[in-house]
Amino acid sequence: MAKLSVNINKIATLRNSRGGNNPDLVKVALDCERFGAEGITVHPRPDERHIRYQDTYDLMASISTEFNIEGNCREQKFVKLVLANRPAQVTLVPDTEGQITSNHGWDTIKHKTYLKEMVSIFQSEAIRVSIFIDPIVDMIDAAAESGTDRIELYTEAYAHNYYNNREKAIVSYVAAAHKANEIGLGINAGHDLDLHNLKYFSESIPGLLEVSIGHALISDALYLGLENTIQMYLRQLKH
């Protein structure tokens, strides 16, 4: 069964909209763990429009499950932040400045030398590294050459095409997973996974280790309650 890591960026967005500390980000993270989440994910950005850099220190000192910090390693402030916290995992995402949300994976062929250097830096501090990547077999081969521990499959295309033809939408992801398994890379996944498309994805992807879900899960929690929602997502991962 793949682990569920809850991305709490949207909780920070709500908090920041009024200032102060309501909702309390650390309390929400601890509640997510108490309700069954097996990890907490944050994705700080330079403008701190949701997760603030200080949040990572507060969370690292408080949570007991796996902590995953996502972000753009081309930002030196992000690199320093991760090295100072030493989370269980860092996920390298090729964001551009001002980007609303992540919308593409790394070109691991073009940036292989750079990624190899960054992977080594984080691994030297005993931080597991995952590279955000599109489901392209050649990119997965190149990712392996960087020395990364895992890849995170960018699942927006799957989610977008799920209702039109889910069998067709999953094809490239299955091929990518088989390649990753063949060469010994762990597999994570995230972006636009939700209560409707998660079960089919998790059942179709061999060796799936972890999914990171934020926007859909927090949106569902507005109607269903946070505890109930987390339990519902966990049930989608059981098969």
Name the percent of the chain lying above pLDDT 70: 97
Model confidence at 209: pLDDT above 90: yes
Set 38, 66, 70, 210: catalytic member: 70
| Enclosing domain of residue 68 | 3-236
Q: Output the six-digit token pair for 178.
A: 């088989």
Q: Reply yes or no on whether 70 is catalytic.
A: yes
For CA atoms 60, 75, 158, 216, give the dihedral sign.
Answer: positive
Query: Is residue 210 among the annotated active site residues?
Result: no
Q: Out of 38, 43, 111, 152, which one is annotated catalytic? A: 43
Do 181 and 147 meet the contact criterion of CB atoms below 8 Å apart? no
Q: Which of 12-26, 42-56, 100-114 has the lowest mean pLDDT?
A: 100-114
Q: Which pLDDT score, from 0 to 100, does residue 239 have?
A: 79
Whether pLDDT at 192 is above 60: yes
CA dihedral over 181, 157, 32, 204, signed as positive or negative:
negative
Task: Check residue 102 and give its pLDDT.
Answer: 55
Q: Are 200 and 170 in contact (CB under 8 A)?
A: yes
- Judged against a pLDDT cut of 90, whether residue 100 lies above it is answered with no
pLDDT at 161: 98
Query: Cis (ω within 30 of 0) for the bond into 23?
Result: yes
pLDDT of residue 95: 75
pLDDT beyond 80 at 7: yes
Query: CB count, 10 Å around CB of 19?
Result: 7
- Cβ-proximal residues to 190 (8 Å cutoff; 6+ apart), any chain: 7, 41, 152, 153, 154, 155, 211, 212, 213
User: Strand 150-154 vs strand 186-190: parallel, antiparallel, or unpaired?
Assistant: parallel
**In a 10 Å sphere around its CB, with 0-12 CB exposed, 13-18 middle and 19+ buried, how is residue 64 labelled?**
exposed
d(CA 145, CA 100): 30
* Number of domains present in the structure of the chain: 1
**Per-residue pLDDT for 98 more than 70?**
no
List the catalytic residue out of 38, 66, 191, 210: 191
What pLDDT score does 103 carry?
59
pTM value?
0.95
Residue 93's nearest CA partner among 126, 129, 57 is 129
| Average pLDDT for the chain | 95
Per-residue pLDDT of 77-91, as tens digits, reads 999 999 999 999 999
Which pLDDT does position 104 carry in this prediction? 75
Q: pLDDT (tens digit, 9 = 90+) per residue, 25-75? A: 999 999 999 999 999 999 999 889 999 999 999 999 999 999 999 999 999
* CATH code of 71's domain: 3.20.20.70
Assess whether 50 carries a catalytic annotation: no
